Structure 1
Amino acid sequence: MSLRHTIDYFTAETGIMPGLAVACGDRRHAAADMGGVINRQGTPLTEKSLFDLASLTKLFTGLLVIRLKEEGTLDLSRRVTDYAPEFTHLQGVTVDQVLGFEVSLATPERLDQQACASNALRVLHQIVPGDNGDNRAYSDMHAMVLSRVLAGASGMTWEALLQQKILHPLGMEETFTVAPENRHKDLVQTGGEHRIISGRYILRPDAPPGVPHDPKAALMYPECFGHAGVFSTLPDMIRLCQGLLAGKVISPEGLRFMSCNRTGRKTTSGAWTQFLGSQCYVKHPDQYFSEIPVYESSAAIGLSGFTGHHLSVDVETGVFALMLGNRVLDRLTTVTLLPGQSLADLGLRPDGTGQVCWPDGSKVFSSVDYVHHKDAHFHRQVAQTLGLSP
């Protein structure tokens, strides 16, 4: 099977996504394929299509931290407040602890429920640390704090650092935090997101063109806070992956540092905590929970994006895997079941695929649990394409 199987499975066969682009390769060569549409008008997905990268944005933040560390501009052992004094409750927290999700970070109020960006920024500055314990360690807050640390250390905005340290050197000319108006026609639309939360049927309103899907990033737009909000094309993201493998952004040692497990362990109950590195996921002992595919090593770093993405780069094997999808447009993305309820009660298959009947009578395709389809229908094809063991 080839990468075309991945496209066909996620689009035509299951309806999980209306459009998808995938790629894999090494520092010099890449195989890629794409198919489907980017909007309700049926515009075909092309190499010019701009994906909302969602949490893949965090990879840029992590890379910028390591880049400034390697340049001697940023000391990871120093306190957050040495670079960003506005975070008054983080006086005892180091940059490294935030980078590796080693502390929990929480705001007194939800950022995405604030009336405006200035209110959200005020609440962000009130963020407090805590102990992860056995709880979920990953959050958007860490990247948001790091974006201010980067600005304090460099005297530049996050966007300017991104352009100077990553985009320009790699020739990524079609990657934006604010998409030019003449490129709005190329945006992969993320409107019409459906959710079923404990019996409540929720349809999120469409955002204006170019505004990120992530609620916090949308509220802060056009400023980017490093957790979400970057838009890019498949060719540009291939340039990023190959540039990382070629050592053009940070050193191979820097990538290995990012891949060190900071949070993962087995709890007393026998459950696993998340395996996280420096603003990324790292290899998990249980493949079911691993964002890093089986054909990549413990030196790999990876991230996913809510809108339907995967990116992993392995400095040891020298390969990358890239999936840019759209599981949001007119799709059911999230289900929280009532006690005793099953997916079958909603008309879905056990794997989350199928269609649900919305209260207005319309049929809505489901992308629920799409992440667990990636191993069999993306990573297996990547492994075969690269000649690696799946």
Structure 2
Amino acid sequence: MRRRALLGVGLGALAGCTARPARGTPRAPASPSPVSPWTLPVATPSPWRTGKSRADRLRDAVTPFLSSLMFPGGVVFAAVDGAVVAHFAFGDAVRYDAAKAELSADRRVPATTETLYDLASLTKTFTAVLALRLVEQGLLALDAPVAGYLPSFVDKPAITVQMLLTHTSGLSKDVPLAGSTPAERVEHVLREPPVGPAGGGYLYADQNFIALGAIVSRLSGKPLDLLVREQIAGPLGLARTGYNPPSSLPTAATEGGIRGTVHDPSAAAFGGVAGHAGLFATASDVALLGRVLLTGGGPLLRPSTVDLMRADANRRFGPAAAHGLGVDVDQAWYMGKLAGRGAFGHTGFTGTSLVCDPGRRIVLVLLTNRVHPDASRGSNNPARRAVADAMLS
């Protein structure tokens, strides 16, 4: 299993060292260069300790769903208190051709622990981290109107940044695409009117994080793909996390056998880079982000910010709406028995999920390509719950 560094790894160290100038020689100012997650070195020692418990139970939990073809394959990563208890792949990364016909056994591509998966809406948690970094820097305020950061929201003055993060803005769940360029399509989505009152209730909507991604990019002066590379992938050593992965990397197929191109139609229309979807990653990389959020923020966020992020900000709307700043809270529909003690995480339409349980110090990742060859099999929530329950059995 390949290991990545979690704490104390700076972007300078990842980019390589430069020669030390002679004594008395003025040092030239550093010239920052983009850091690509696809070329980050794999560092040691591992942030995880080794362990073997629960692995067999997790395999037993996922096997029935693989047998019933709920998904062609996937990867499970589980850790307890920093000890890896399971990290294994199952099934196929590619099982069907472009016509959705099942491939013969010799033409299939088995899933491995190094396979990248389309994270879909799990991207939202990464975008939330970028936004909260701006909050810590004083460049973004949670209670400020979004219109102060995005002119497109001038006719939606009551919507605040926190409402975007908690899906309480009243923005539409589904927005039709229009425009001939990625920029025009984003602008069209941002200008769409809300379908409910700002702050009036919980309505999960991609439009919230499309807007949040636009804010983050506008305030930072950089595109989201570069921000993820420099501010998340670089510091954590996530060598296999990013947008638009190169074809040289092993990537699980989605609908029609597509590999390496985002499945979400809006993100695809935006050029593959968006705040609500578009990221690809391995299970171990996703788990490292989870571990950071479980243990106080590491090099990404302050502990107080992480506490705020994973606290339920929607209490007035009831437990079904429990949501922090970019994460769900105690949602048993996919967290199973891990829900109920402050567990937080997120899912993705393609069949991905992350669950972090602070009380039990559990990080659990399930990545599947349940939309391969299409999404006709329905949700893989039963598998998510079964895997979560197996952590406690």
Which range, TM-score by smaller chain?
A: 0.7 to 0.9
Structure 2 match to 1:303? 346
Is 58-67 or 78-87 further displaced after alignment?
A: 78-87
Q: Aligned match of 1:188 in 244, 252, 272?
A: 252
Using the TM superposition, give the Cα deviation of residue 59 of structure 1 relative to its aligned residue in structure 2, in angstroms.
0.8
Letter in 2 for 1:230: L
Counterparts of 2:120 and 2:112, CA distance in 1:
19
SS of aligned partner of 1:212: coil
Counterparts of 1:115 and 1:273, CA distance in 2:
38
Change (3 A) 1:107 1:329: closer
Matched, 1:321 2:364: yes
Check whether the contact 1:102–1:262 (CA below 8 A) recurs between aligned residues. no
Counterparts of 1:261 and 1:281, CA distance in 2:
8
What is the 5 A alignment of 1:285-304? 287=332, 290-304=333-347
Matched, 1:277 2:329: no
Matched, 1:374 2:373: no
Q: Deviations over 1:238-257 (max 9, x none)?
A: 22222322321223332331
What is the 5 A alignment of 1:198-209? 207=258, 209=259
SS of aligned partner of 1:320: strand
Give unpaired runs (5+ residues) of structure 1: 193-205, 335-365, 385-390
SS of aligned partner of 1:86: helix
Letter in 1 for 2:351: G
Change (3 A) 1:274 1:266: closer
SS of aligned partner of 1:46: coil
Structure 2 match to 1:221? 271
Structure 2 match to 1:33? 88
Using the TM superposition, give the Cα deviation of residue 154 of structure 1 relative to its aligned residue in structure 2, in angstroms.
2.2
Using the TM superposition, give the Cα deviation of residue 311 of structure 1 relative to its aligned residue in structure 2, in angstroms.
0.5
Change (3 A) 1:379 1:326: same
Counterparts of 1:381 and 1:236, CA distance in 2:
22
Matched, 1:97 2:146: no
Check whether the contact 1:24–1:320 (CA below 8 A) recurs between aligned residues. yes
Q: Deviations over 1:210-252 (max 9, x none)?
A: 2201111111124x12101000112212222223223212233
Using the TM superposition, give the Cα deviation of residue 298 of structure 1 relative to its aligned residue in structure 2, in angstroms.
4.0
Counterparts of 2:184 and 2:87, CA distance in 1:
43
Q: Supply the RMSD in Å over aligned alpha carbons.
A: 2.6
SS of aligned partner of 2:109: coil
Structure 2 match to 1:362? none
Change (3 A) 1:256 1:293: farther
Q: Deviations over 1:178-208 (max 9, x none)?
A: 112322xx1100024xxxxxxxxxxxxx65x
% identical equivalent positions: 27
Structure 2 match to 1:257? 308
Using the TM superposition, give the Cα deviation of residue 9 of structure 1 relative to its aligned residue in structure 2, in angstroms.
1.9
SS of aligned partner of 2:226: helix
Give me the TM-score of the superposition, normalised by structure 2: 0.75
Check whether the contact 1:282–1:302 (CA below 8 A) recurs between aligned residues. yes
Give unpaired runs (5+ residues) of structure 2: 1-55, 96-106
Change (3 A) 1:62 1:291: farther
Matched, 1:127 2:192: yes
Q: Aligned match of 2:242 in 156, 176, 191?
A: 176
SS of aligned partner of 1:276: coil
Matched, 1:83 2:93: no
Counterparts of 1:134 and 1:125, CA distance in 2:
20
Counterparts of 2:351 and 2:254, CA distance in 1:
10
SS of aligned partner of 1:104: coil
Q: Deviations over 1:299-323 (max 9, x none)?
A: 3321111111110123343221110
Using the TM superposition, give the Cα deviation of residue 24 of structure 1 relative to its aligned residue in structure 2, in angstroms.
1.4
SS of aligned partner of 1:72: coil
> How many positions carry a matched residue from both structures?
323
Using the TM superposition, give the Cα deviation of residue 258 of structure 1 relative to its aligned residue in structure 2, in angstroms.
2.0
Give me the TM-score of the superposition, normalised by structure 1: 0.75
Counterparts of 2:134 and 2:157, CA distance in 1:
21
